[in-house]
Structure 1
C-alpha cells in the first residue's frame, strides 16, 4: 500500500493597507473577514492564472487549507509532495483575496503536519510579541493574547493528517 505524501506550507498573509497609527498594527475582532474558503478560491485562481488548467489539474485534487487564524493571518496549506512547488508559486504570486490586497509570506514548508504545527505555534508567539512591543507592553503582560495563544495551540495540536 502506498502512502499519500504531502507537503505542508505555512503562510502568513500580510494586509497591504496604509497604517495611520500604532493601533492599526494590532488586529481587533471583526476587522478581518478573511476565511479559509476565500483563501482557497484565491489560491485556485492564482494557480489557474499563472499555470493554466494543467497546473490546477495537477494541484487541485490535493490542495486544502487545513488551518487559518484570523488574528495572526497564518494559514496551513496541504498539497501533494510532487506538486508543492506549483502551490508554493501560486501562493507567492497571489496579490489579492476578495478585492483586498495581501502580501503572502511563506514561513515554513515541511513534510509532516507536526513540524508545520510547531512552526505555526512558534510564529504565532512571535507575532503576539510584536503586537505587544508595538503597543508598548512588556512580553510577560497578561492580556487577551494569552488566551488566544493557549486556544490556538490546542487548535493546532488537534489537526490531523
Structure 2
C-alpha cells in the first residue's frame, strides 16, 4: 500500500481594490480554486492541469484576514506554486498571492495560519478601534 503525500501551502492574498472595480471581490474557496485552475491551464496546459487536479483542493479561506490553505500533491506543489504566483486578478480585481508557509501536514499549516490570523487581527483591532463589532470578533475567533 502506498501512502499519498501532500503539501499544504498557507497563502496570503493581497487585494488592490483601489485599482479595480468599485465592487470588491469576496474570497471564497470557489474563487480561489477557479483562478488557480485557470492559471495552471494557461501556463502549463491541459495535461498538467489534469495531473494536478487530482489533489488540488482549497482547504481553508478566511475572507477577513485574506488567508487560505491549499492542498496539493508533493510532486506537483512547485508547479501549482508557480501558477499561483502568476495569478494577477480575481474577476476584475487585481490581486497577488504571497506564500507564508509550506508543510507536509495540515496541523503545521493550521498552526502557521492561526498565528498569522491572530497577528492580523491584533493589527486590525489597533487600526479600527471604534469600528469593530461583536460579529466581526466572533467570526474571526471561530
Shorter-chain TM-score range: 0.7 to 0.9
Query: How far 1:43 moved relative to its partner?
Result: 0.5
- Cα distance in 2 for residues equivalent to 1:80 and 1:10: 15
1:127-153 CA distance string (max 9 Å, x none):
11221232358xxx99555423431xx
Match of 2:3 in 1: 3
Query: How far 1:82 moved relative to its partner?
Result: 0.8
- Cα distance in 1 for residues equivalent to 2:81 and 2:102: 9
- Cα distance in 2 for residues equivalent to 1:121 and 1:78: 17
Match of 2:15 in 1: 15
What is the TM-score normalised by the length of structure 1?
0.77
Equivalent residues of 2:27, 2:61 under 8 A apart: no
Unaligned runs of 5+ in 2: none
What is the TM-score normalised by the length of structure 2?
0.86
Q: Are positions 1:111 and 2:104 aligned together?
A: yes
Equivalent residues of 1:128, 1:145 under 8 A apart: no
Query: How far 1:57 moved relative to its partner?
Result: 2.3
- Cα distance in 2 for residues equivalent to 1:110 and 1:116: 6
Q: Are positions 1:131 and 2:107 aligned together?
A: no
- Cα distance in 2 for residues equivalent to 1:123 and 1:148: 16
Measured on the aligned residues, the alpha-carbon RMSD in Å equals 2.2
Q: Are positions 1:120 and 2:118 aligned together?
A: no
Equivalent residues of 1:10, 1:75 under 8 A apart: yes
Match of 1:150 in 2: 141
Query: How far 1:34 moved relative to its partner?
Result: 2.5
Match of 2:52 in 1: 59
Unaligned runs of 5+ in 1: 20-30, 152-161
1:35-70 CA distance string (max 9 Å, x none):
111110110001111111232122111101111111
- Cα distance in 2 for residues equivalent to 1:142 and 1:40: 30
Moved over 3 A (4+): 141-146
Count of aligned residue pairs for this structure pair: 138
